[in-house]
Amino acid sequence: MMSKAVVSLAGLVFFLAQPSIGQTVNGAGATFPYPIYAQWFDSYQKLRPGVEINYESVGSAEGIKRILDGSVDFGASDGPMTEEQLGEARTRLHTEILHFPTVLGAAVPAYNIPGMREELRFTPESLSGIFLGTIRNWNDPVLARNNPRARLPANPIVVVHRSDGSGTTYCWTDYLSKIAKQWQKRVGKGTSVPWPTGLSAKGNDGVSGLLKQTPYSIGYVELTYAVQNNIPFGSVRNSGGQFVKANLDSVTAAAASAAGNIPDHFRVSITDPPGAAAYPIATFTWLLIPQKARGEGQRKVLTGFLRWSLTDGQKMVAALGYAPVPKEIARREIKALASLK
């Protein structure tokens, strides 16, 4: 019979051979970056077999809600948390919520006009008018003036927007609030707003699906979802007076215009930036990390993952239609990881 000492030793060896405990972390939030997050989490877990990162793509507002009620280890949002929300975190969780930009993306005006071959061009005036409901038909003079070669139909415009609290909505309405006083006065910006008109759907995937099945519709989706779903989207006139289509270069140009003015807390808007080459409806997307983690295991996983995502992980983003974080900002973020406790 094996001695108790040998059994104990065998048990100790078995225990030491297992992945360290506390290496599962749970997060929830933005649908905007879900394609790249899904790839990142899968790739990182293959590099770190003892690590498990679970993420629910439920929208930015729900991600913020869950980080505030303490049900997840990290959140994700395409719009920064408000001062009120940050104050709530201090009161309820006794910690700061730190913002770490991970990639840049763009919200694009995607549309479904049967038979339309020309790529449409949108001005700030036309986009705000469409979403306010004051531009009601596709052949409206405001649209026709900037699309002289397009055969714009007389059909009514069907507006599609998000039904859930959304960082993509924040990006879109942040832009509209900057370029249209009437929008700022009547609607404003936020992850959820009182839409003046339109149909609603949940998530970028929901809006993409509704656009595809609704003739003569227009909505806003994250660039990757428009490309993956083969939905046409137009160029937008920027503050430099140029019509620019969202792509890797134009989103990178938007980030570059703001790179020198980004504060240490990394909560910043880059919509409607200066520069002739910049796409005007671009945004960072952030991971929301409590400064005081729920456990040492969670802190180590999040620190390791963020360091990897800001270095090796950035090499994967362009293939999915995102722009990488500028290197100087990534360097500052890696330095800020030291403040996680």
What would the DSSP string read from start to end of 139-199?
Answer: T-HHHHHH-TTS----SBPEEEEESS--HHHHHHHHHHHHH-HHHHHHT--SSS---SS-E
pLDDT at 260: 74
Burial of 96 (0-12, 13-18, 19+ CB in 10 A): middle
User: Taking all residues of the chain, what is their mean pLDDT, rounded to a whole number?
Assistant: 92
Mean pLDDT of 116-131: 97
Instruction: Give the pLDDT band (50/70/90) at residue 259.
Output: confident
pLDDT in tens, 152-186: 999 999 999 999 999 999 999 999 999 999 999 99
- 332 is written with which tokens? 């500052």
Q: Would the pLDDT of 333 be above 70? A: yes
What is the arithmetic mean of pLDDT over 262-267?
Answer: 93
Q: Give me the pLDDT at residue 256, please.
A: 87
C-alpha to C-alpha distance for 35 and 207, rounded to whole angstroms: 16
Please report the domains of the chain, with CATH numbers, ordered by start residue: 23-104+283-339 (3.40.190.10), 106-261 (3.40.190.10)
Confidence of residue 18 (pLDDT cuts 50, 70, 90): very low
**Hey, is 47 helix, strand or coil?**
helix
Q: Identify which has the larger pLDDT, 194 or 32.
A: 194
pLDDT of the residue at 20: 44
Which tokens hold the place of 165?
């609290």
Query: pLDDT, tens digit, for every residue of 58-106?
Result: 999 999 999 999 999 999 999 999 999 999 999 999 999 999 999 999 9
Instruction: Identify the band that residue 17 occupies on the pLDDT scale cut at 50, 70 and 90.
Output: very low
Residue 11 is predicted with a pLDDT of 36
Rounded CA gap, 107 and 35, in Å? 15
Give the whole-angstrom CA distance, residue 267 versus residue 246. Answer: 22
Query: What pLDDT band is residue 6 in, cutting at 50, 70 and 90?
Result: very low
Which strand (E) or helix (H) includes residue 54?
strand 52-57
Q: Does residue 235 carry a pLDDT above 80?
A: yes
Tell me the percentage of the chain whose pLDDT exceeds 90: 89
